[in-house]
Amino acid sequence: MDLHRIAQKVVADQKKKEQEGAQKASASEMVDLMKQMAAELQALKSANPTSGQADKLNQSRKEDLLLAITESSKEHKQKVLRSFERMSFTSDDDFNQFLEDEKAYVQTLQQQESNSKLGKDFPKPGIPGNSGVASIDDPVLDEVMKNIRI
């Protein structure tokens, strides 16, 4: 009977070792699978910018846009920034084209404003609406003119 118990113990030990080996193999397989998943995740992250990277890119583009429109009016800046928040650009080329268009538009606005002021910076005597110059209908001038004898 002792041989029978010894044989049973040997068989039980052998089965236990096989189960432990299977568990070790499955744990090893799981580690390998997790490594594969981590590598795939890293590849996806590098292919598509995460929200943090997208936020940095968006902030950088916003700063570039602000530099481009510094010379425009406050109303125009607000309008462009509101519009910019709603935009999405598929590539840097798309954004750069938008930026160049905006720069050209700001220059056009500046030129129009400059043109509208032409001739208004030097007052002409006797023309109503020029600051610092008496107009023809000025009562003080009328009184002075009455007192002049020719």
**Residues 17-65: pLDDT tens digits?**
777 776 666 777 777 878 887 887 777 766 655 567 778 888 889 999 8
- Report H helices in 69-131: 74-86, 92-116
**What is residue 123's predicted lDDT score, i.e. its pLDDT?**
58
Is the pTM above the cut of 0.85?
Answer: no
Q: Where are the domains of the chain?
A: 1-48, 51-116
**What is residue 100's predicted lDDT score, i.e. its pLDDT?**
93
Give yes or no for residue 101 having a pLDDT over 90. yes
DSSP state of 82: H
45-78 b/e (C-beta count within 10 Å ≥ 16 → b): eeeeeeeeeeeeebeebeeebeebbeebeeeebe
Q: How far is the C-alpha of 133 from the C-alpha of 45, rounded, in Å?
A: 70
In this predicted model, what pLDDT tens digit does every residue of 103-150 receive, in sequence order?
A: 999 999 888 888 887 766 565 665 555 555 545 667 777 788 888 877
